[in-house]
Amino acid sequence: MDKQIQNSSGSSQVLENEPEIIERAKTDNDAFEVLYNFYFPRIYGYIFKRVGNHTQTEDLVSLTFLKVFTNIKEYSHQGHTFGAWVYRIATNNLTDHYRQQARKKQISLDETPNLADNRNQSDRLAKQAIDKQIVGKVMVKLPKKYQQIIHLKFFAEKESEEIAFILNISANNSRVLLHRALKKFYQIYEESTK
């Protein structure tokens, strides 16, 4: 049975024996299912945070895995991970999606949690909900390329080299872009909280 390696927070970051599973997946649907089950929640979360709509997310995730499935035979490790390759396909699908949209889409925030009767708990949850709203409002004011790199870095937890591959830019360029995105984010955030 294939295993996942857990990070300190308990979420799986790497699929154990992934190179072997990838090779098997080129001819074995069961092996592809292992990859699909591992990457599906990550890609779904990444796309949903960008489009904020379950139906559109499901369509884009399906398209992403269809492309992964049909192109896996051509995949080869060339200095980037399989996960980065899958994220690149998802990112390209998002780019195509945005090009097809006539109007600007807003990022959907997670639903506000139900507030408990406990006053301290209520205050804490209310502050979290307000913070999420502010962050969401700031994010939609950022250019799409800044939104994209912030999502890849902080929500998808990708490293600079993987981000560079996904966005088809140099690693140094990805670090510069992230720096500019965060600078702009904090500038807008400060203006929003005054």
Distances (CA, A) of 115 to 29, 109, 110, 129: 44, 17, 14, 10
CA distance 177 to 159: 13
- 100 and 170 share one domain: no
- pTM confidence score: 0.59
Q: What is the three-class DSSP state of 86?
A: helix
Structure tokens at 53: 């709509």
Each residue of 5-34: pLDDT tens digit?
Answer: 444 334 456 788 888 999 999 998 889 999
pLDDT > 80? residue 179: yes
- 98 and 121 share one domain: no
- 111 and 101 share one domain: no
DSSP alpha helix (H) spans, the chain:
18-25, 29-51, 54-71, 82-100, 119-141, 144-150, 160-167, 171-192
Point out which residues pair with 4 in neighbouring strands. Answer: 15
Q: Domain containing 67: what range?
A: 1-105
- 84 and 177 share one domain: no
- 173 and 90 share one domain: no
- 19 and 61 share one domain: yes
DSSP state at residue 114: P
CATH number at residue 80: 1.10.1740.10
Total of domains in the chain: 2
Each residue of 58-72: pLDDT tens digit?
Answer: 989 988 998 999 899
